[in-house]
Chain A
Amino acid sequence: MVSPLADTSIGTGYDLSNSVFSPDGRNFQVEYAVKAVENGGTAVGIRCKDGVVLALEKLVTSRLLKAGANKRISTIDRNIGVVSSGLLPDGRHFVSRARDEAASWRSMYKAPIPSSALANRMGSYVQAYTLYSSVRPFGVTAIVAGWDSEAELPVDGQVGAGPKVGSGGKKEGQKHGGPFLYMIEPSGLYWGYYGAATGKGRQIAKSELEKLNLADGELSLEEGVKEAARIIYVAHDDNKDKEFELEMTWISSLSGPTKGRHEEVPKELREEAEKLAKKSLDDDEDEEEEKMEE
C-alpha cells in the first residue's frame, strides 16, 4: 500500500520499500543507497601493468580517534583486497561476506578464488538485497582488487610435484592471471575497470584516472601508488572536510614487492607519494595564481 504521508517526497510513496518499482521503473531504495555512497570519503583503485593499488580518503571524524588505527581497506584472501565508500557497517558486512565466499571457494576447490568469481558472487549477493521488502540495499560501493596468480598453483595440501621436466603439452608463451579490478554498486551492478573511483570526490577522481590512459597497460605499480595518492589529494575538498588520512594497499605480481599478496603500502613509499601529491597540488595552485595575475 502507498502511504499518503509519503506523497510529499519525490518518490511519491514508491520509495518506501525495496521490491516495489515506481511506475517509471525505478527502485528508489537503491537510488537512496547511492546517495549514502556519495557522502563517503573518496576511494580509488588503479589496475597497473604489474599490480593493483587501492587508496582511500579516510575522513577523520573525531580528534579522539587514534591516528593510523581503524583500517578501512580489508584483505579478503591473501591476494584480494576491498575498499568501500558509504556506510561503514555495510562495508564491514560486505567484507565479511566476501571472506566467507573466498573461504568457501577454497574449501570446495582447494585453491584461491579468482577475482572475477569473487566479484561475480558479491555482485549477486548485493543484488539480492534489492529484491526483498524486508531488507534494504547496501549503502556502499565497493572496489575489489585482486592479483590472480600467474604461476601454476598446487592443490591446497597436495604432496608430490609430478615430472621433474615439468608437464608435457603446455601451450607456451600464453599469459595467465594478472591484475584485476572490479567495482560493485548498491544495485549489484559490477564491471571490471582499469581505474575505479567512488565516494565524494569520484567525479574529479574519475577524470584524473582517465588522463592516465590505463587501458594502454603502461603504468607501473609504483607510479600507480603515486597517482593514487595524488588523486585522493586532488579529490579532497578542503572546504568541507578538514582532515583526512590516506590509506593505501597494493598487490604486485609474484616477482614484485608484495609477491602476489594484498598488503599495506609501506610507510616510506606512502609518505613519499603523499609528499609528491602535496607538491603537485601546490604547483597547481601556483599556476592558477599566475593565471590570475595575467
Chain B
Amino acid sequence: MNHLPQAWGRPRDDVYGAYDHSHFQTSGPIQHTQSPIVTGTSVVAAKFKDGVVIAADNLASYGSLARFTDVKRLRKFNDQVVVGFGGDVSDMQYLDRLLNSLDIRENYSSSETALNAKNLHTYLAKVMYKRRSDFNPLWNHLLIAGLDGEDKPFLASADLLGTTFTSPTLATGFGAHLAQPILRRTLPDDASVEDVDQETAVKLVKEAMKVLFYRDARSMDRYSIAVITKTGVELHEDEKLENQSWQFAEQIRGYGTQVN
C-alpha cells in the first residue's frame, strides 16, 4: 500500500504488476437500457377529403397500473400539424421539448413559411433513426397528421427504429391490430379519401377508439382528438367515449351449457 488514495484497497504493484486503469472504467462499450416505463398506448388517425383526424387516450400506464389519467398525447405543432405519441412518456416529453426548440429556431425569421406536416415527419423520422443508430432509441411510435406543402391531407408514422409509413389510415401499438382493419373498411386506399367527409372520419376514429377501449387492457375511456384542416387545428383534450355497448352482458350465462 502507498500514500495515494486511489491505490488504497487495491492489490500491490510489486505482487500483481501495475494497476491497469482501463479496468477502472466500466468495461466494454457504453450501454443504454432501455425499455419503456411509463407508457401511452395506441394512437389512431384517418385522412378525409379536407384533412386528417387523429386520436389517443389520456392514460399513461406503469406496467399494468393505470398510473396517470390526465396525459395529453396529441401535440399541436402549429396550425397545420399535430403529432400523436405512443410509447414512453419521458421520451414523448423530450420530443415535445425538441419540437419546442425547433419552433423557436424556425421563428427567428418571420418571413419564411411555417413547417408543414410532411417537413415535420421527415425531421422526426431522422431524429428517431439517429437515436436507434446510436443504440439509444426513443421508445415511441409517432403519427404525424396535418397538411403537406400543397395543403393536401398528410398522414405518416415514424417508430423507434426510424421506420416510416404513410397510408390513408394509421394506428400504433394495439391499434395497428384492432383499429386499422376497422378504419380500412371505410378508407381502403388513397382514392377513397376523396369520398370521406370530416363527419364520417371523426365518427370512424371514435368508433376505433371505442373498440380499443373494449379490447386494450392498457387503455381508458377519456381521450384527445384533433381535426386538422386548412382552417386550422381543432383539438379537444378531454373527450369521453360515448355509446358503449355493454347491455348484452345480461344475455350471457355461464360458459357453455349453463342456462341460469
Contacts and interface: CB of A to CB of B under 8 A. Distances in A.
Direct contact of A and B (CB under 8 A): yes
Interface of A: 71, 74-75, 77-78, 99, 102-103, 106-107, 110, 156-161, 263-264
Interface of B: 60, 68, 70-72, 89, 93-94, 96-97, 100-101, 104, 107-111
Q: Chain B interface secondary structure, helix, strand, loop or mixed?
A: mixed
Contact of A160 (B71, B96, B100, B107): B71
B93 to A, nearest CB: 4
Nearest to B99: A157
Contact of B97 (A102, A110, A264): A110
A163 to B, nearest CB: 11
A263 to B, nearest CB: 7
B68 A103 contact: no
B110 A263 contact: yes
23 contacts: A71-B110, A71-B111, A75-B107, A75-B108, A75-B109, A78-B104, A99-B108, A102-B104, A103-B101, A106-B97, A106-B100, A106-B101, A156-B97, A156-B100, A157-B93, A157-B94, A157-B96, A159-B68, A159-B72, A159-B93, A160-B68, A161-B70, A263-B110
A75 B101 CA distance: 13
B68 A158 contact: no
User: Which residue, A102, A159, A161, has most C-beta atoms of chain B within 10 A?
Assistant: A159
Contacts of A157: 93-94, 96-97, 100
Nearest to A68: B111
Contact of A156 (B89, B96, B110): B96
B104 A158 contact: no
A293 to B, nearest CB: 48
Nearest to B98: A157
Contacts of A71: 109-111
A158 B108 CA distance: 25
A264 B68 contact: no
B70 A160 contact: yes
Contacts of B70: 159-161
Contacts of A110: 97
Given A159-B60, A159-B70, A160-B68, A264 B104 contact: no
What 4 pairs across the A-B complex have the smallest Cβ distances? A157-B93, A157-B96, A159-B71, A157-B97
